[in-house]
Amino acid sequence: MNIGPRAINMETQDSSQKEKTADDLPKVLVFGPPFVFKANEKQFSEKFHCLKPWESSIPLHQFLSIHASSVQAMFCSANNPVTNEILQHLPELRFIATSSAGVNHIDLHECKRLGVKVVNAGSIFSEDVADTAVGLLIDVLRRVSAANRFVKAALWNEKKDYSLGHKLGGKRVGIVGMGSIGLEVTKRLKSFGCVISYTSRNKKPNLTFPFFPNILELSTNCEILVICCALTDQTRHMIDKNIMLNLGKEGIIVNIARGAIINEKELVECLIKREISGAGLDVFENEPDVPEEFLELDNVVMTPHHAVMTGESMMNLFEAVVGNLDAFFSNKPLIFEVV
């Protein structure tokens, strides 16, 4: 058979492609690993040389030192802090993608000083988190989880009455943080007929809901708080006993933001003493550790920091992370840039 130059060239290209190894791919340090990485590891590994410190037997600082001169990009989860110390071990790092909307686990000040770009999940999770917030609120008000336990424990035939729940319509709800999640929560609660007000870093010119400049004033004018703000030095333990008592005995707190925004010890105390009516919590101060008192309280509904976890949101996140990594290595504009 006569093999022409073009066929020889194609054969050479095929051979070259087959010989391509992970070392030829752009290196990405994976910190965590994020759930979306575990679910799509094969696809990530086809595009990037993924460095996985959790698989190494050597200490983290040694692992980082070995790869310090070659790592320009990192993909991390919210559960793995990217501290100043970590950044100092990676002098060539220029890009961090986090799988979360929150960025309190990353030293943004140091990233800015070092010229490290940071992107988050943006508004990818907003609708799913808002759904969970409303679901938790309805569960607490209508005692859905408590009623489920009542039926499964075969108590229905033994007791004639079951505690009354409360309707959602007409409740005065304060939104703490009117970002993309807060807006989605507002959209949903408005359809239930709730009376909505909010506090945020700035008043939103396009919103007609009453705005209160601080959490104290907001809590005085509502009976339910839905926490949607970021965790910062200013918001840590912002929801304390004074705020809870302002809500009154029918007060309810829903938190789908970060656990440390609430003073958890004071929340436990107020719930046990029935100084507020209940709480719906997706996040906790020392995850995965949850105060033991919560486990015994029927007026507390909990989920394991899973408000963002839907198949649809995970696929959207995967596409956004890969798109941002491609953009970084190609020197193209990033999406959801924080720093």
Q: In the numeric block, which tokens belong to residue 291?
A: 């105060």
Lowest-pLDDT range, 147-161, 219-233, 237-251? 147-161
Q: Which residues are catalytic?
A: 258, 287, 305
- Tell me the average pLDDT across 134-146: 97
- Tell me the average pLDDT across 259-265: 98
Query: What pLDDT is recorded for position 7?
Result: 46
End-to-end CA distance of the chain: 60
pLDDT tens column, 24-37: 899 999 999 999 99
pLDDT band at 161 (very low <50, low <70, confident <90, very high): confident
Helix (H) or strand (E) holding 97: strand 95-98
Mean pLDDT over the full length of the chain: 93
Residue-range domains of the chain with CATH? 12-124+312-329 (3.40.50.720), 126-302 (3.40.50.720)
Helices (H), the chain: 5-18, 35-39, 41-47, 60-67, 84-88, 108-114, 126-142, 144-152, 180-191, 215-220, 241-247, 264-272, 292-296, 311-329
Query: What pLDDT is recorded for position 125?
Result: 97
Looking at residue 178, the DSSP 8-state letter turns out to be: -
Q: Residue 317: CB partners within 8 Å, gap ≥ 6?
A: 36, 99, 121, 124, 125
Of 155, 139, 143, 159, nearest in space to 303 by CA? 139
Distance, CA of 168 to CA of 137 (rounded, Å) = 8
Of 29, 34, 48, nearest in space to 323 by CA? 48
Share above pLDDT 90 across residues of the chain, in percent, rounded to a whole number: 88
Instruction: State yes or no: cis peptide before 81, omega within 30 of 0.
Output: no
pLDDT tens column, 292-327: 999 999 999 999 999 999 999 999 999 999 999 999
Distance, CA of 95 to CA of 86 (rounded, Å) = 13
Residue 335, pLDDT above cutoff 50: yes
Query: What pLDDT is recorded for position 160?
Result: 63
Query: What pLDDT is recorded for position 273?
Result: 96
User: Model's pTM, two decimal places?
Assistant: 0.88
pLDDT band at 4 (very low <50, low <70, confident <90, very high): very low
Lowest-pLDDT range, 37-46, 56-65, 161-170? 161-170
Question: 59-70 burial, b for 16+ CB within 10 Å, e for fewer?
Answer: eeeebbeeeeee
Residue 15, pLDDT above cutoff 50: no
